[in-house]
Structure 1
Amino acid sequence: MIVGYARVSTKDQNLDRQIDMLVDYGVDIRNIYKEKMTGTNIERHELNRMIDELKADDVVVIADLTRVSRSTKDLLMIVDKIKEKGAKIKSIKDTWLDTTSENPYNDFLLTVMAGMSQLERDLISARTKEGLTSAKARGREGGRPNKRNEKAEIVKTLYNQGHKITEIVKATNLSRSTIYRIINNDT
């Protein structure tokens, strides 16, 4: 039997593109395991259920390598679990990921390409960290602007003018506790 596995990282993302690819490849829509969870988490219910239900000679079809795993170690472990069941795995986009034939180069390419994919993710992470460090050295902070710091002077002025806390809450859209911290100079 041919089964499919489709995964996106967040609940807001859409599985349609992957499902369309799997159906176009020939996977019955009823045999597609769908998941909305990060690939860095190896405790994925649908992936584990799919692997548990695999039988000898089944073929797992995925849209691309990153749908199964985001790390080389986990990818190789997942592929080994699939092989232990006597099943095979094939990627539509990553044509080198195809254990349906007895070609010894497939395992070699799987290891090399998974390592390259891991390297790419690690380089992106390193560049992001370097960029944040560089920005911080220039006085720029990442993240959402702090409303409390932006509105502290307004809060103090309104309070000193005798406005009630409920009026200051309405005027600034800050919580009562934030207003009290500003007034009391708490950090």
Structure 2
Amino acid sequence: MANYCYLRVSTVEQNLDRQLEAMKKFDIPEENYFVEKVSGKNMNRPELQKLLDTVQEGDTIHIHDFSRLSRSTHDLLKIVETLTERGVYLISNKENFDTSTPTGKLMLTMIAAINDFERANLLERQMEGIAIAQKAGKFKKKDIDMDKFHELKADVDKGLLSVQTAYEELGVCKRTWYNLVNAEKEKNND
């Protein structure tokens, strides 16, 4: 049962002094400090990944505050959920949050519920906006040149073109490209 510390600032110019000072009271060995100077928006952070690969059941990760672990509530919850499933505890100094306590578990449940609520509201507002735009004739699906699609698909099948180049030339996203490919397969099987 080891203690680890994760410290992060967004840029090389910023310093870690405030976070380092706050972590002193936990008496964590220096080799158990994982430090990086990158944005918290991105989940692909080498030191965070190393830390997540290192910790084992019963270990505890200390952070100064939630924003050091992630700027996104969704990503923060994913990290905490992963840690919880692995039996690893998280202590956030600023928020006085500890997943090893009943209060910490309750707070985590509440944060997750609020995140789900925010996401549902966002999707609802998005759908309302789309419906209004459709009524006003401003939200239409893009017409796809099917002749061009068939030409590009043939080139992809012959290995003359990558799928990415094909869907970009057609002016659609990857998902739309594969929806068209699958629709053609179904049409040809009938």
* Coarse TM-score class (shorter-chain normalised): 0.5 to 0.7
Displacement of 1:105 in angstroms is 1.3
Per the alignment, do residues 90 and 112 of structure 1 end up closer, same or farther by CA in structure 2, a change over 3 Å counting?
A: farther
Deviations 1:140-161 (A, max 9, x none): xxxxxxxxxxxxxxxxxxxxxx
Q: Which amino acid aligns with 1:101?
A: T
Displacement of 1:88 in angstroms is 0.6
Gap runs ≥5 in structure 2: 119-190
Q: What residue is the counterpart of 1:6 in the other structure?
A: 7
Instruction: Check whether the contact 1:98–1:106 (CA below 8 A) recurs between aligned residues.
Output: no
Instruction: Check whether the contact 1:51–1:81 (CA below 8 A) recurs between aligned residues.
Output: no
Q: What residue is the counterpart of 1:101 in the other structure?
A: 101
Residue pairs, 1:1-187, within 5 angstroms: 1-95=2-96, 97-103=97-103, 104-111=105-112
Displacement of 1:25 in angstroms is 2.8
Runs of 4+ with deviation above 4 angstroms: 112-115
Separation in structure 1 between the aligned mates of residue 61 and residue 114 of structure 2, nearest angstrom: 19
Displacement of 1:107 in angstroms is 1.9
Deviations 1:65-96 (A, max 9, x none): 1000001110011111212221010100111x
State the secondary structure of the residue aligned to 2:22: helix
Q: Which amino acid aligns with 1:52?
A: D
Q: Which amino acid aligns with 1:68?
A: L
Instruction: Check whether the contact 1:71–1:114 (CA below 8 A) recurs between aligned residues.
Output: no
Displacement of 1:113 in angstroms is 7.4
Q: Which amino acid aligns with 2:73?
A: T
Per the alignment, do residues 98 and 109 of structure 1 end up closer, same or farther by CA in structure 2, a change over 3 Å counting?
A: farther
Displacement of 1:111 in angstroms is 2.9
Count of residues in Structure 1 that have an aligned counterpart in Structure 2? 117
Structure ID, larger Rg: 1
Instruction: Check whether the contact 1:23–1:29 (CA below 8 A) recurs between aligned residues.
Output: no
